[in-house]
Every structure is written in structure tokens, then in C-alpha cells.
Chain A
Amino acid sequence: MEHKILITGTMGAGKTTAIGQISEIPPISTDVENSRRDDFDKPTTTAAFDYGELDLGEGEVLRIYGTPGQERFSFMWPVLARGAIGIIYLIDCSRPEPLADLENFIDAFGSAADNVASVVALNRIPEDQPLAVETFQALLESRGLPWPAMSADVRRREDVLDVLEILLSLGEAQTASMEA
């Protein structure tokens, strides 16, 4: 059985890195040259999606899609969300307004994320923001979203797997409650 999940977040949040850490196939990339290095000093940017796979054992395979991060590619987001059982909102906490970044993505996915298990993963938490997880959790609660927020250094495979484990647990619980 195959399951599809999505990793979304701003340009440079670490989506491609996260998929590269856990994929058991060479990740498929649609990176193109970034023509605005003065805005964001990154040589390439994802134009369509990233893709990787992870064998969960017992015949179950996880298909992992990473969205383009830039708003002009937002037409891809609902396309990629179709059939997903889970969404990881990956937030770069070193950006100026990471809470607003999360809200933008929540709003952009809108109904496409209804009934989809979701986790907020916080990457690059600055040392002077030790309460980042609590702050994000408070935001989610204020919006009535029962999603967990957790820190994750996506350069570490174990961290990405921890996020996935939580997401899949939530997905299973959600599926069970919908079937009940």
C-alpha cells in the first residue's frame, strides 16, 4: 500500500533537504536556477516539486512530495495535496516572521488540508527563541487547529523521521475516527 504526504514551507525552509535525508531512492528534483539571488541567496529553487520514497515495511511505501516554496507557484500546492494523508508545514524560524509564514501556508491550503493530518516542524530555531515551539502551539490553538508543533533540524535524518512518525500516527488516528 502506498501513502502520500506533503512537505510545504517557504523557499529555503529545508524541504528538499528533508526529503533527501529520508528518501531511499535518489530524490526527484525540479530545481531551476534562482534569478533573484539578491532576495534569497540560494542558487536554485524548486519549480514543480521534489519527490522521494521511504519503505515503511510490510509492503507499505511512503511517497513524499515537497512543494515549491514561493507564492507564485501556489497553483501547485492544491494539485500536490490531492490524495495526501498528511502535510508537514516546515517553518524556517530564522526568517523575520515565521508565525506569519505558517499562517500564510495554512490559509493557502485552506480546504485542501481539511481532514488531513498535519504537523508543524520548526527548523532553524534561533538560540534566543527557546519558546518557539510553545509560541507556534499557541497560534495553532488560537486557530482551533489540533496540530502538534515540534522542533526539527532537517539536516538530521532522525529528526525528520520523528516528524514523520508523529504525522503517520495522527493520520492513522484520523482514519480510524473517520471510519468509526
Chain B
Amino acid sequence: MNDTSARVPAELTGVCEQAVAEVMADTDGVILAMVATVDGFPVAACSAPGWDVPANRLAAMASSGHALGDSVAGELTKTSCENVIIDADRLSIVFLAVPEFRDPRLLLGLAARKTTSLGTVIYSAGACARRIAREANALA
């Protein structure tokens, strides 16, 4: 990994790599699964064949998108943002915070073809994020 990657323990990277690989394998239509630090450094990324995904740029975009969601949620409800959904022409994209893990705070990004329902994408992303939190906390 070069200097644009997150500086996290190898064990945590391993947890994230396994989680993104399995959510891709287990959820139809997913073309990208990625974990990044909340400030936009990629930790782990997995993409479907034929999708050349620039993980560095997407990690930064996930950070910006989620931070903006947080800002809007805070402005309207004084609460934080749970997830940001992007409804694109061909893809549904979800960015959500990995819950209950803070060292460092992590974001999960999942993108899937429109043939997969948005509910499925959100459910899979949530399950994957909770799994990362559980396994990452177990490392401590």
C-alpha cells in the first residue's frame, strides 16, 4: 500500500478485506465494496470483474459524501447521519458509518446494479458494517 492508504493495523485491514470480499460474494449485483477511514483513506476495497475502481478517489468521495450527510442531518435534527444513499442511473450506492468502532472511525461503501433492490443493498451494507465492528472490537 502506498502513502495514500490508511495507516491501520494489519489485523484490522484483514478484517475489512475479508468482510468486503464476502459481502461481494454473498450479495447479487454488487460491483464495489469498500472500507475507508472517515477522513477518506482506503482500508480495503473489492470490485467486480470489469469495474476499474479508483479506491483512493472513492474513499475520499465517501468521506466527503458522508460528512455532508452528517452536516445536513445535524442542521435539521441535531443528530448524526447513518447512511448516505446515491441513486444513480445504473447503480445504487450506499455509504454508511461502521457503528461502535472508533479507532479509527470507518465508513463502508457498497455499490450495486439496479437489478438489486435498494433495500437489499442497505441491508447487506448494514450487516457487513456490524460484522466489521464486531470483529474489529474483538481485536482490541
Q: Which residues of A contact B (CB under 8 A)?
A: 28-36, 38, 45, 47-48, 68, 70, 72-73, 75-76
Contact = CB atoms under 8 A, between A and B. Distances in A.
Contacts of B41: 35-36, 72
A120 to B, nearest CB: 26
Contacts of A68: 64
Contacts of B37: 35
19 contacts: A28-B75, A30-B67, A33-B38, A33-B104, A33-B105, A35-B7, A35-B37, A35-B104, A35-B105, A36-B39, A36-B41, A47-B40, A47-B64, A47-B67, A48-B71, A68-B64, A72-B40, A72-B56, A73-B40
Nearest to B75: A28
B3 to A, nearest CB: 9
Contacts of A48: 64-65, 67-68, 71
Contacts of B65: 48
A36 B71 contact: no
Interface residues of B, number: 24
A71 to B, nearest CB: 9
Output the residue of A34, A38, A70, A73 with the most chain B CB within 10 A.
A73
Interface of B: 4, 6-7, 37-41, 56-57, 59-61, 63-68, 70-71, 75, 104-105
Contacts, number: 64
Given A47-B64, A73-B60, A76-B64, A30 B7 contact: no
Nearest to B71: A30
A6 to B, nearest CB: 16
Contacts of B75: 28
Contacts of B64: 30, 47-48, 68, 73, 75-76
Output the residue of A31, A47, A48, A76 with the most chain B CB within 10 A.
A47
Given A32-B105, A72-B41, 7 more contacts: A29-B71, A32-B67, A35-B41, A47-B39, A47-B67, A48-B65, A76-B64
A73 to B, nearest CB: 5
